[in-house]
C-alpha cells in the first residue's frame, strides 16, 4: 500500500516569533510531509522566516483565517491534510500517532482535543475562553446529538474527500465551529485525539478577541442550526409565536364571554397575526427540512464520487 501524500497547512498572520519552530518541528516528526505556510498580510517577518525554514509559502490577501484555509484547500493537492496554527500552541511530537489513528480508523476528520487534558485550563490564561469553549461545545452536542469534547480546536487532520467537498461563506475564526457542524450535519466520520495544549510563548500576541469572536461564534452557531436543522429552528420559533398569540388572545376572549363584545380589537388582531406567522414559520421549517434531506443525499453522492 502506497503511503499517503501528506500536506501540512499553516495559516499565518504575524507569527514571526514561532513559525520557524512549527515548520522545523514538522520536518523532524513527519519528514515526508510537504509544509505549506500561507500568509494573511503579516506585518512582521513571518514570510521570510517560513521560507528560510523550508516551507512552501503562499499568500491570501482577503483578511481572515477562513479565507486563508479556503485558498489552501483549493490550491493544495494531497491525500491527507494536517491543519495547525502557526503560534506553537499545539504539540507536533504526537502527529505521527494522530496520523496513524486517522488512517487506521478511516476518518474524515480528526480533531486535536485540548479540553480533555488538564493542561488547557492550566496553560490558557484567558478564563472566558474556557467558558466560551464549554458553551459552544454543549450547544452543538445538544442540538446535533454528538459527544465531541473540543469544538474550537485549530489542530485537525482531514481526508482529501473532506477538503475537496467542504464549502462555506464564513471568513474568520468561526472556521473551527463551521468545520465541526459541517461534519456532524453530513454524518462524516469524526474522531478526537487528546493533546497537551500550551499557551503562546512570551511576546506572541493572540489575534482573538474573547467577546467579539465569541459573539461571532454564537451567531454562527444559530445561523448553522437554521441552515442545517430548519425544522428544529423554525419549529421553535413557531411554538414561541403560537404561545404568545394564545396569551394575547386571552384578554379579548375573556371580554367577549363577559360582555359579549370585544373592546381590545387591536390586541385580538395582533394575537391572530402571531398565530398566522407561527403557522407560516412551521410550514417554512417543513419545506426547508425536505430540501435539507435532499441536499444530504446529493452530498453523499458527490462525496463518494470524489477521488
**For residue range 63-111, what is the model confidence (pLDDT) as tens digits?**
999 999 999 999 999 999 999 999 999 999 999 999 999 999 999 999 9
72 DSSP 8-state letter: H
Q: Read off the pLDDT band of 260 (50, 70, 90).
A: confident
- Scanning the structure block, which residue is given the C-alpha cell 499545539? 90
> Taking the domains of the chain in order of start, what are their residue ranges?
6-228, 230-305
User: What is the Cα–Cα distance from 67 to 166, expressed in whole angstroms?
Assistant: 13
User: What is the Cα–Cα distance from 211 to 132, expressed in whole angstroms?
Assistant: 9
Mean per-residue pLDDT of the chain: 90
pLDDT digits (tens, 9 = 90+) for 151-192: 989 999 999 999 999 988 787 668 999 999 999 999 999 999
- Quick one: average pLDDT of 275-286? 97
**Confidence (pTM):** 0.86
266 burial type by CB count under 10 A (0-12 exposed, 13-18 middle, 19+ buried): exposed
User: What is the Cα–Cα distance from 286 to 281, expressed in whole angstroms?
Assistant: 9
C-alpha distance across the termini of the chain, in Å = 17
Residue 253 contacts by C-beta under 8 Å, 6 or more apart in sequence? none
HSE of 162, CA atoms in CB hemisphere, 13 A: 26
* Cell numbers standing for residue 129: 475562553
Q: Does residue 213 surpass a pLDDT of 80?
A: no
* pLDDT confidence of residue 207: 58
* pLDDT confidence of residue 125: 52
Cβ–Cβ contacts within 10 Å for residue 292, how many?
15
* pLDDT confidence of residue 3: 82
* pLDDT confidence of residue 200: 65
Chain centroid, CA 50 distance in Å: 27
Q: Does residue 212 surpass a pLDDT of 80?
A: no
* pLDDT confidence of residue 261: 87
Give the sign of the dihedral formed by CA 47, CA 164, CA 178, CA 64. positive
| Whole-number percent of the chain with pLDDT over 70 | 90
Q: Which helix (H) or strand (E) holds 173?
A: none
Contact 112, 99 (CB under 8 A): no
* Cell numbers standing for residue 29: 516528526
* pLDDT confidence of residue 220: 83
In the chain, count H helices and then E strands: 11, 7
DSSP 3-state assignment of 77?
A: coil
- Quick one: average pLDDT of 232-253? 95
User: What is the Cα–Cα distance from 214 to 128, expressed in whole angstroms?
Assistant: 9
Tell me which residue of 200, 192, 198 sits closest to 113, measured CA to CA. Answer: 192
* pLDDT confidence of residue 110: 98
Select 6-228's CATH number: 3.90.550.10, 3.40.50.300, 3.50.50.60, 3.40.50.2300.
Answer: 3.90.550.10
Amino acid at each position: 500500500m502506497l503511503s499517503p501524500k501528506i500536506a501540512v497547512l499553516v495559516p499565518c498572520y504575524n507569527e514571526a516569533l514561532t513559525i520557524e519552530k512549527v515548520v522545523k518541528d514538522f520536518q523532524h516528526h513527519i519528514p515526508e510531509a510537504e509544509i505549506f505556510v500561507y500568509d494573511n498580510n503579516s506585518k512582521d517577518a513571518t514570510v521570510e522566516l517560513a521560507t528560510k525554514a523550508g516551507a512552501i509559502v503562499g499568500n491570501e490577501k482577503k483578511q481572515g483565517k477562513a479565507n486563508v484555509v479556503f485558498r489552501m484547500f483549493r490550491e493544495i493537492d494531497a491525500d491527507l491534510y494536517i491543519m495547525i496554527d502557526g503560534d506553537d500552541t499545539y504539540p507536533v511530537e504526537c502527529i505521527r500517532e494522530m496520523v496513524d489513528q486517522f488512517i487506521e480508523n478511516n476518518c474524515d476528520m480528526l480533531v486535536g482535543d485540548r479540553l480533555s487534558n488538564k493542561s488547557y485550563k492550566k496553560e490558557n490564561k484567558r478564563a472566558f475562553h474556557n467558558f466560551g469553549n464549554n458553551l459552544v461545545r454543549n450547544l452543538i452536542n445538544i442540538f446535533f446529538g454528538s459527544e465531541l469534547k473540543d469544538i474550537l480546536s485549530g489542530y485537525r487532520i482531514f481526508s482529501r474527500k473532506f477538503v475537496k467537498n467542504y464549502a462555506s461563506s464564513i471568513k474568520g475564526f468561526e472556521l473551527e465551529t463551521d468545520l465541526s457542524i459541517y461534519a456532524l450535519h453530513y454524518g462524516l466520520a469524526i474522531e478526537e485525539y487528546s493533546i497537551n495544549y500550551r499557551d503562546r510563548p512570551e511576546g506572541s500576541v493572540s489575534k482573538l478577541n474573547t467577546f467579539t469572536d465569541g459573539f461571532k461564534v454564537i451567531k454562527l452557531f444559530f445561523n448553522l442550526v437554521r441552515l442545517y436543522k430548519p425544522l428544529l429552528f423554525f419549529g421553535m420559533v413557531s411554538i414561541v409565536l403560537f404561545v404568545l398569540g394564545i396569551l394575547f388572545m386571552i384578554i379579548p376572549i375573556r371580554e367577549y364571554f363577559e360582555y359579549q363584545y370585544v373592546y381590545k380589537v387591536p390586541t385580538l388582531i395582533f394575537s391572530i397575526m402571531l398565530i398566522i406567522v407561527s403557522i407560516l414559520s412551521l410550514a417554512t421549517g417543513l419545506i426547508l427540512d425536505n430540501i435539507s434531506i435532499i441536499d444530504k443525499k446529493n452530498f453523499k453522492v458527490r462525496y463518494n464520487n470524489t477521488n
